[in-house]
Structure 1
Amino acid sequence: MLIGTILRGKGSGVTTVTPDATVRELLAQLAEHNIGAVVVSADGATIDGIVSERDVVRRLHDRGAAILDEPVSSIMTVEVRTVGPGDRVDELRKTMTQHRFRHMPVTENGRLVGIVSIGDVVKSAIEELETEKASLVDYLHR
């Protein structure tokens, strides 16, 4: 299965925040959209970074509650790995597991076109297994 197949099913909407948004504003976005990470983007199309709940928790532990009024740019991950719509989900699953990522932005021609979570990847694996099972059951009943 390809990443683009996941995006067709879930949609290509991506919640973003600007680098100068406060961590408090970031938390409001995470809560409002019930998500675990957002892409940091000054223009909504290019990627400046990514920030997750884990990033917030780690910085709270390191620096205290003062980070809530700091800009997102002070806690975001700057080196962001991305995938394309034509990349394979099984390769993404390996990368996410190996590097302990839970969210991966999807880009095409340098532009943000979606985001895939580990939940999306697991859901696609289950769907593939169910399809294979149905095919095997059908084959056995012929």
Structure 2
Amino acid sequence: MSRLGGRKTEAMSSQARKKTSDNGTVSDSTQKFLTSSRSMGPTRDRTVKRLRLSKALTVPETTTIYEACRRMAARRVDALLLTDSNALLCGILTDKDIATRVIARELNLEETPVSKVMTRNPVFVLSDTSAVESLQKMVQGKFRHLPVVENGEVIALLDIAKCLYDAIARMERAAEKGKAIVAAVEGVEKNRVLSFSGPNSFIETLWEHMFRPSLSKVISEHSKIITVSPTDTVVMAAKKMHQYRFSCAIVTVENKPQGILTSKDILMRVIAEKLPPECTLVEKVMTRNPECATVDTPIVVALHTMHDNKFLHLPVVDREGYAVAVVDVIHITHAVLATVSQLFPFS
């Protein structure tokens, strides 16, 4: 168990959005409902300590990259913590670091110490920090792992996947509240003898656009996607990942997904198997026929897919099946938190 160095924390803030009726004003009944639902205050979030944490894998910073990778593969983990000569926490090494800082730069794995490529002084959270706050911290910092500290000692390494359950719960609580608001508004509007039979009714529009946002809402036309050929080498793919700061590449043929290569694949299927990355073809180590989402897939469905299947990346295709984007666990979780914060700042 390693001891702590030190870092700082930051919190997210959001602002409530008013819901209006079809004439652009908030009806008295709807306003009363919104006020009463907000007055209930924040729900009681689970703390990090209650997420069934796994003990962190820790090695000295003088350990070679190859030995660190070997131990990560043996434990089936994609990150480890590094300690200095005083056994103090000094860094973190992830599969993305290995792909973009080691393989892409073609460093010698057996001679280079992890201190040369690790991320120094990682941000951490205390064991009594809420899971949602920890999730926000990871999203803000754009990292997937957080050391967990208790009484000055690092007791575990939190992966963002552990917090996905809470993100899903928040989205679904928002959806349930959304149904209640829709019912309240519908009751008010029905008293005005309005028709809701058409597909473009106020209620349908409210529900679809506010409580069932799709991936198209979070994928811009400028979204980047790294594509490689099945016959590219792992080093070529890693160099692209390094260039665009991505942790995966979509393997395409005629711009349609045939596979996916992630930094974890490089760790587990290339380095751990002692394959030479400079001449190993992507098609030999990629995950074939990956599950894909479409631009019309609801965010909450994509989140469930990633959580249930333990995916960190989800390719997105258009209606013709062409690859247009890839959302990672941080991207999709940020979308969920943003949606919930906009709709229900106290959910």
TM-score bucket of the superposed structures, by smaller chain:
0.7 to 0.9
User: Which has the higher relative contact order, 1 or 2, with Cα contacts under 8 A spaced 6 or more apart?
Assistant: 1
Shift of 1:107: 1.0
Shift of 1:61: 4.4
Aligned pairs (5 A) from 1:1-142: 1-6=46-51, 9-11=52-54, 13-42=55-84, 46-126=88-168, 128=169
Tell me which residue corresponds to 2:20. Answer: none
Q: Could you tell me the percent identity over the aligned residues?
A: 25
Tell me which residue corresponds to 1:137. Answer: none
Deviates more, 1:36-45 or 1:18-27: 36-45
Shift of 1:60: 2.4
Describe the shift of the 1:36–1:65 C-alpha distance in structure 2 as closer, same or farther (beyond 3 A).
same
Tell me which residue corresponds to 1:138. Answer: none
Looking at CA atoms only, which structure, 1 or 2, has the larger radius of gyration?
2
**TM-score, with normalisation over the residues of structure 2?**
0.34
**TM-score, with normalisation over the residues of structure 1?**
0.78
Amino acid at match of 1:123: Y
- C-alpha contact 1:2 1:88 (8 A) present in aligned 2: yes
**Structure whose residues are more often helix by fraction:** 1
Deviates more, 1:116-125 or 1:38-47: 38-47
Which SS does the other structure have where 1:101 is aligned? coil
Structure 2: distance between partners of 1:29 and 1:5 = 26
Which SS does the other structure have where 2:126 is aligned? coil
Which SS does the other structure have where 2:92 is aligned? strand
Which SS does the other structure have where 1:63 is aligned? coil
Which SS does the other structure have where 1:48 is aligned? strand
- C-alpha contact 2:53 2:158 (8 A) present in aligned 1: no
Describe the shift of the 1:67–1:24 C-alpha distance in structure 2 as closer, same or farther (beyond 3 A).
closer
- C-alpha contact 1:84 1:106 (8 A) present in aligned 2: yes
- C-alpha contact 2:78 2:95 (8 A) present in aligned 1: yes
Shift of 1:69: 2.1
- C-alpha contact 1:16 1:41 (8 A) present in aligned 2: yes
- C-alpha contact 1:85 1:108 (8 A) present in aligned 2: yes
Describe the shift of the 1:85–1:23 C-alpha distance in structure 2 as closer, same or farther (beyond 3 A).
same
Unaligned 5+ runs, structure 1: 133-142
Report Cα offsets for 1:49-105 as digits up to 9, x if no partner. 100011111122453141442111111111210000111111111111122111100
Tell me which residue corresponds to 1:139. Answer: none
RMSD (Å) for aligned C-alpha atoms:
2.7
